[in-house]
Structure 1
Amino acid sequence: MNCSDLAGSQYISDGKSSMVAKKAVDAISGWMPVPEGRLVAHSPGRRGIWHWYEDHARGTGELARSFAEPWGGGELAHRLGRDHDTGKGACAWQDGLIEEATTGRKVRRPAHHAAGAFLFAQAARQHPVLTPFAGVIEGHHTGLSAWSELSVRLKSLMRDPTEVDEAISRVAEVMPEILDKTCPAVPDWLDPRNKTSVEMLVRMTYSAVVDADRLDTAAHFQPGPLPRPDVRMPELWERYETRRQEALAERRRRKEPSWLDKLREDVYQEALETAADEPGVYRLHLPTGAGKTFTGGGFALRHAALHGLRRVIVAVPFISITEQNAAVYRRLLNPEHGPRTVLEHHSAVNFETPDRRASRPSDASVDAHRDQKRARPNRWAKLAAENWDAPFIVTTTVRLIESLFGNSPSATRRLHRLANSVIVLDEIQALPDTLLTPILSGLRELVEHYGVTLVLSSATQPELATLNPWQTGLPQRDIVANPAPLFQQLRRVRYDWRTGSDVTLRSIATEAAAHDQALMVVNGTRDASHVHKIWLGDHAEDPSTLHLSTRMTGCHRRETIQAAKQRLDAGLNTLLVSTSLIEAGVDLDFPRGYRARSLPESEQQAAGRINREGHRPTEDSIMTVFEPTDGLQPQVIYNRCGIAAASRRFGKGLADPDDLDTLRSYYQHRYRLQAGRSSTDPNGATGETIEALREKLDYPETARRMRMIDNEHSVAVVAIRAQLTQNDRQAAQDAIEQLRSGVPTPDAYRTLQDHMASIPQRELETAINTGHAAEIAGDLYEWTGPYHPQRGIEPAV
């Protein structure tokens, strides 16, 4: 049925749009015209071929089915995917697309989400627990809505379906199956009374449908293979083990294996034996220096190979560890030729959400134009958003939690990839206390219903089983059965505690500088910059004096870590001041260390960079924990309940941070101080009120509350350093221009990850107004202001 055929029926077009469509079709030059009785889903693009509606609808449905089959949601995802674009059948929408495609002018078309949502809500009458799944269709472009709002819109449609009748009738002409009102099956494990299970199933189904929609759309505009076939995990595991053995053999040729090498190998072999056990929750509790990166990867790959799991996802809290771990895994897993196996994804950029940045108050017209532009998410950015279509993912904990609890399409489309996977949560102690209840609840859902094996990796294992979501029915198994003796064997430092009014950043920096090689870890970027300036004195630069913080770009941080490593190995004088990003996964070995007072887990992690290889006597390897009167105080940036629990247990005359029994008691006390509190309590809480939002299916508010990085305080900017080679500078600039042109790819994002630094929101606002930052796309900006060759973007005074 064409729009012109509707005259005389109950669905009458205004006639004007039909004339537009006829003229547009007549004007097509070199493109296939739209035959009578056909509907289109997307414009011809560069190939000159229309994307026919039924091809897109059926293709999306089948792809969504394949994504959701692992958890028994295939039929449900298929129905939602098949009907998600039903609203595109409306004459105004069809005419608008044809006019836009043939004239090149932007045409405002009506929203197309209501018709499919209405169809699904009708079918769900037989099984009311399914009604909220209509939100998958309703929000497939804009994000999951709160059920309280969605239910009102659905009730209104049920009372008066006039606005969707036309689209449904026209689509039914080419796809009569949409009128089938039978209720799709749900996974047999779903308990309608368990609201968080329903909430998570909506999320997973939404992810499957959104990813299927975008992949099918991308295949039309950019023809090529659809999702790459999963690499066989047994093959990946064999490659990992072969290359690991080759690396060990090469190391043995260069130097005689030490006692520490043997200990690491024993730990690794025990982990491989444990990998044969059933899927579930595992703890990898190892002291720093025991080889957690290799052991965690080996366990995950072997476990996946033995149990038929599809991928391994390693999530770490700090970008510095992501970069280092990804480099290790790439060497072990990427093939010599062909598609890469390891995908590194830690971009903090959102290309879909309208930006709400402050702008120049003096130019209201420019501001209005920019705000209007940002309110229209770029279509290509949506298609190119990362969907984790790789067998081995290295990402940040922030990205993982964003995927698990976000409500936007770009954040959520990769969520279904978690099913039937091994998730390694590295440095698990870094999860924020204020979000623990929903995080643990969500992870439990993944383990119990989506075939996930979860690995909790840390030298300072928190007592998560004491928190409500994990108190009963979720056993945790140790990958290494008895880790306590390892901590005794690998105790390589002696702690020294320094307090008093005379303890300042300058006094400690001066003491550290008296040593040939020393590491100093402070509580913030301003303190790190201050210490580095003290060390430099009147010198502009000094290769023996290094600085590390997130104000430096990713490649700059890697260069600094590599320079420190080379200098230490060569026995050269080396002073390094760093923020906490050095405390996990950074393979450096200093003889002397200083750590500003923080939480015991952070202090122990910092100590892991001192005498790391055990070549020096423990008594001579000192980690000084100091409380500077002029430095950033731990109560400002760390959990206050954690500080309170730690102050009773650790310090001069008390326990050291690596005392396992005291650490266990500390975590239990810390969680007891917070459990059950309101999230508005200044002392924090473990997120019980967020869990209540999940039970109400309030997806937008849950996403807002679950942000692990508050973008009001920390934002990513791209800085192209003068020290880069011409080729690297050009590649980065090309990626920026590609994003600005509106035709980005995931590769463009990945190229820029190397050049991203973090600064506070208020500093970015000032930089925009002073011309030191220029918009790229979404909430990503290019830094054009000063960039110090050692410290990166300096803190504002």
Structure 2
Amino acid sequence: MYIAHIRQKDDVKQTVREHLLECKTLSESYGEHLGLKHLAGLGGLLHDVGKYSNKFLCYLTQAVYDPENAPARGSVDHSTAGGKLLFERYHIDGKNPYYQLVAEVVGNAIISHHSSLQDFSNDRLESPYLKRVEEKEVYEFQDIKERFFQEVMSEDKLDKYVEMAAGELQSCLSACKKEDIAKQLYFLTRFVFSALVDADRTNTRQFEDNWKDDSVDSMALFERYDERLERKIQSLRCESDDTVINQLRQKMSDKCAEAADLPSDIYTLSIPTGGGKTLASLRYALKHALKFKKKRIIYVVPFTTIIEQNAAEVCSILGDWTHIIEHHSNVIDADEENEFTEGSYTNQEKVKLARDNWDSPVIFTTMVQFLEAFYGHGSRSARRLHNLCEAVVIFDEVQKVPTKSVTLFNQALNFLKYTGKSSLLLCTATQPALDFVEGRLEIGSDHELVPDLQKVEVAFKRTNMVDMTGEGTYATNELADFAMSQLDKENSVLVILNTKSVVKKLYLELKERNLPVELYHLSTSMCASHRKDVLREIRDMLEKGEQLICVTTQLIEAGVDVDFGCVIRSLAGLDSIAQAAGRCNRHGKQEIKNVYIIDHAEEDVSKMPDVARGKEITARLLRVMEKDKTLFKGNMLSNQAMTRYFKEFYTVQESVLMYPLYSLGTSISEILFSTPFNHPFIRQMKHQLHKQSRTFMSSSFMLASMHFQVIDRHTYTVLVPYDHEAKEMIADLNGKQQIEDLSRLMIKGQQYTVNVHKWEKDLLAKQGMLISYLDGSILAMVDNGYSAEFGLDVNGEGVNSEAYYI
């Protein structure tokens, strides 16, 4: 009997045959409605064929029953055999080219399912894929194939199955324009990889947990949610005043409900700040999901503060705190590269099996996590990609797409639209011109859900922008004087600056003055739970009309429901200024209030290129508007002004939009989406080595994923002892963790994490402030290392990554 897994608690064995067929069924279910049933299922069917060897059987039994004398973990390769079988049998000259493509797409997913997808070509002018499936020797390979054909599927049936997969692939590629075929092959490979990894991990976890079936009927939940939401909207309408703004909010919300009947596509929702975007988009999502049988609703946002607020609001309205999941931090940093031995699991191996795959009905996540699913390194993030298909995906504050990732973002959305059968809604008051750039977003010109945008803008005008940049720069003490002077006119002042260091400096300057008002500090050095508590206190103060000053980074700008009497914003991109204005007189209860734009003398944004370029373009537009007051109809924050800003921004950035790899003289877009005829490494190989490509695909999967980072530097997640609950959770990590315990920890622990750069991690470790748990998979801070005022406070200036949160 050839064994795939041995259950730890009762020594029950799962055979290779059982595991392969069960993974095949799961993978098929992920691809079936996309017309990719057999293409996805083939990965599940063949991924662990290599376990049909005596060498692996000995290795597994020794690892479980005699671990002290067992071979090194991962020393027996069981991943190559399935990819090699496909290549040997179907990647043959003269054979139907779609059979060869199946061997490449599915074979790469199989050989990579414990690590990261392999390159078909790389900068060393090699093909690691071919080295694995063609050149690498697999011990007992002939015996492995015979056992598979005898126990799992006969040769004739496998041929028929591959024929079906090839037909699906041909149909999928035939629907593409010729220039898009390489892109489609990239995303199809990533999809098959996602389906395989999730099927493998899910089946293994289910076996380890004794086959618990905890699936949820999404349609039944969505019906219940829809009924509750409609009741909530009716009650809000009964309570609200019959003002012009409230009438417009209701009209826009109703328009979103009507738009739910439109076919799956990409749409924009440009409701101004304070216009009820969260409930309006949720109305669209629920009704659309019910009508078109979408599996889940996924909110993608740039800031964790939006997740914290919006998820809490949605949970409260829908009356469900169980099936609505926040996912924004990788609490556990598992090693993606090493294969694990099913059987006696180490802590890191339990981490990989833990449920972290976005299979809940409603998900709130970040832009970082979304992009990692399509382009990130390793298998953990990629595992989630297939759950983005057949979904309603709402992008809140979509203008915050990282500049270098704009083309990659657009191509991912195009795939979800055409192949993934998802509906995509781009929400923001400041729509970026994503259809203006090269590698454009495939969106129609008439896909805006809000009618008469210009009239809506006029009706929602609640602030007046005052440009003070022409008066020179402000030092910290001068800015403190100006903020205090505004308290004579307004009870509440919000100051938003571009870097954490100047925020802290201004806060300390104001604190030294012993002001007779409440003073608050906010930044991403504070964990989510901490920020939530501070924001709750600020809202209470604002509602009571008490005097306060809040000094913060841009984390407060997008989606955070606060209403200040005055906002002071350091010069930045026009979209950031517009979002900052949305925190002033938010509900329009007072006369027009001022938003002051100043230029801070001590800010260093040299390591924040997007902010630096945004400042430059905004300053230029301010100078132009100073000369011509009629420009943009006198409204610097109008939709016209925003379109002009983004077109200039993306034109300046044109070389950056495709994620350049300067050291290699190319870009991630080029090495992923090029055909063998124009791929830079294939061209070099022909010129320097006089060799032709021997694969249809040329994508440099591994190389691209190793270079891809949404923020400029890798960060490490640290659990912090913010409150009693956080301290208890950290203390519990010393105990023996079950897989489901880790699944719950991944969700709960996000409220108590802070992301730090390597230099910060090293400094904290040197100071004895960090403790390592679960074989290094989790980092936590010691009890006395967290500041109630500043959060995780590390001295020194690092790369500021306020814009995007993991």
- With the shorter chain as reference, the TM-score category is 0.7 to 0.9
Letter aligned with residue 175 of structure 1: V
Matching of residue 348 in structure 1 with residue 330 in structure 2: yes
1:59 aligns with 22
- How far off is 1:634 after superposition? 7.2
Matching of residue 152 in structure 1 with residue 130 in structure 2: yes
SS at match of 2:734: helix
Letter aligned with residue 203 of structure 1: R
Structure 1: give runs of 5+ residues left out of the alignment: 1-37, 357-375
Structure 2: give runs of 5+ residues left out of the alignment: 122-126, 339-345, 675-697, 797-806
**Do the aligned partners of 1:44 and 1:101 also contact (CA within 8 Å) in 2?**
no
1:22 aligns with none
Aligned identity (percent) is 22
**Do the aligned partners of 1:200 and 1:445 also contact (CA within 8 Å) in 2?**
yes
SS at match of 1:276: coil
> Bigger shift: 384-393 or 141-150?
141-150
What is the TM-score of this pair, normalised by structure 1?
A: 0.85
In 2 relative to 1, CA 343–536 (structure 1 residues): closer, same or farther, beyond 3 Å? Answer: same
Q: 2:424 aligns with which of 454, 457, 466?
A: 454
Letter aligned with residue 153 of structure 1: K
2:598 aligns with 626
Kindly report which structure 2 residues correspond to 1:549-698, keeping only aligned pairs within 5 A, or say none: 549-618=523-592, 621-633=593-605, 636-650=608-622, 653=626, 657-676=636-655, 689-695=668-674, 696-698=698-700
- How far off is 1:291 after superposition? 0.9
Matching of residue 420 in structure 1 with residue 390 in structure 2: yes
1:529 aligns with 504
- How far off is 1:471 after superposition? 6.6
Kindly report which structure 2 residues correspond to 1:37-76, keeping only aligned pairs within 5 A, or say none: 38-76=1-39
Letter aligned with residue 435 of structure 1: S
- How far off is 1:256 after superposition? 4.7
**Do the aligned partners of 1:244 and 1:332 also contact (CA within 8 Å) in 2?**
no
What is the alpha-carbon distance in structure 1 between the residues aligned to residue 132 and residue 642 of structure 2? 52
2:677 aligns with none
- How far off is 1:206 after superposition? 0.9
- How far off is 1:632 after superposition? 2.9
Letter aligned with residue 197 of structure 2: V
Kindly report which structure 2 residues correspond to 1:420-569, keeping only aligned pairs within 5 A, or say none: 420-470=390-440, 477-499=447-469, 500-501=471-472, 503-514=474-485, 515=487, 516-537=491-512, 544-569=518-543
**Do the aligned partners of 1:715 and 1:759 also contact (CA within 8 Å) in 2?**
yes
- How far off is 1:217 after superposition? 0.5
SS at match of 2:300: strand
Letter aligned with residue 184 of structure 2: S
Kindly report which structure 2 residues correspond to 1:261-300, keeping only aligned pairs within 5 A, or say none: 261-300=246-285
- How far off is 1:385 after superposition? 4.5
What is the alpha-carbon distance in structure 2 between the residues aligned to residue 780 and residue 745 of structure 1? 11
Q: Any idea what the Cα deviations from partners look like across 1:610-637, whole Å, max 9, x if unmatched?
A: 000111111xx11111101112347744
- How far off is 1:790 after superposition? 2.0
What is the alpha-carbon distance in structure 1 between the residues aligned to residue 294 and residue 524 of structure 2? 35
1:121 aligns with 87
1:202 aligns with 189
Q: 1:164 aligns with which of 131, 141, 144?
A: 141
Q: Any idea what the Cα deviations from partners look like across 1:396-419, whole Å, max 9, x if unmatched?
A: 111111112224211111111111
SS at match of 2:579: helix
1:246 aligns with 232
In 2 relative to 1, CA 461–739 (structure 1 residues): closer, same or farther, beyond 3 Å? Answer: farther
1:111 aligns with 77
SS at match of 1:450: coil
Letter aligned with residue 389 of structure 1: D
Letter aligned with residue 503 of structure 1: Y
What is the alpha-carbon distance in structure 1 between the residues aligned to residue 219 and residue 739 of structure 2? 36
- How far off is 1:290 after superposition? 0.4
Greater RCO, 1 or 2 (C-alpha within 8 Å, sep 6+): 2
- How far off is 1:644 after superposition? 3.9
- How far off is 1:341 after superposition? 2.3
Matching of residue 748 in structure 1 with residue 745 in structure 2: yes
SS at match of 1:737: coil
Letter aligned with residue 733 of structure 1: A
**Do the aligned partners of 1:67 and 1:416 also contact (CA within 8 Å) in 2?**
yes
- How far off is 1:742 after superposition? 8.4
1:709 aligns with 711
Aligned-residue RMSD, C-alpha: 3.0
2:60 aligns with 97
SS at match of 2:439: helix
- How far off is 1:349 after superposition? 4.1
What is the alpha-carbon distance in structure 2 between the residues aligned to residue 561 and residue 600 of structure 1? 25
In 2 relative to 1, CA 281–475 (structure 1 residues): closer, same or farther, beyond 3 Å? Answer: farther
2:727 aligns with 729
1:367 aligns with none
Q: 2:111 aligns with which of 125, 132, 138?
A: 138
Q: Any idea what the Cα deviations from partners look like across 1:238-295, whole Å, max 9, x if unmatched?
A: 5244345336527855x75644333211110011111211110100011101011111
What is the alpha-carbon distance in structure 2 between the residues aligned to residue 450 and residue 355 of structure 1? 28
2:173 aligns with 190
- How far off is 1:141 after superposition? 0.7
1:794 aligns with 793
What is the alpha-carbon distance in structure 2 between the residues aligned to residue 682 and residue 402 of structure 1? 17
1:4 aligns with none
In 2 relative to 1, CA 562–313 (structure 1 residues): closer, same or farther, beyond 3 Å? Answer: same
In 2 relative to 1, CA 352–502 (structure 1 residues): closer, same or farther, beyond 3 Å? Answer: closer
- How far off is 1:463 after superposition? 1.0
Q: Any idea what the Cα deviations from partners look like across 1:499-542, whole Å, max 9, x if unmatched?
A: 34561222122221341310000111111111111121176x99
SS at match of 1:536: helix
SS at match of 1:593: strand
In 2 relative to 1, CA 433–774 (structure 1 residues): closer, same or farther, beyond 3 Å? Answer: same
2:769 aligns with 772
In 2 relative to 1, CA 680–384 (structure 1 residues): closer, same or farther, beyond 3 Å? Answer: closer
> Bigger shift: 689-698 or 605-614?
689-698
Matched length: 728
1:5 aligns with none
- How far off is 1:727 after superposition? 4.5
Letter aligned with residue 259 of structure 2: T
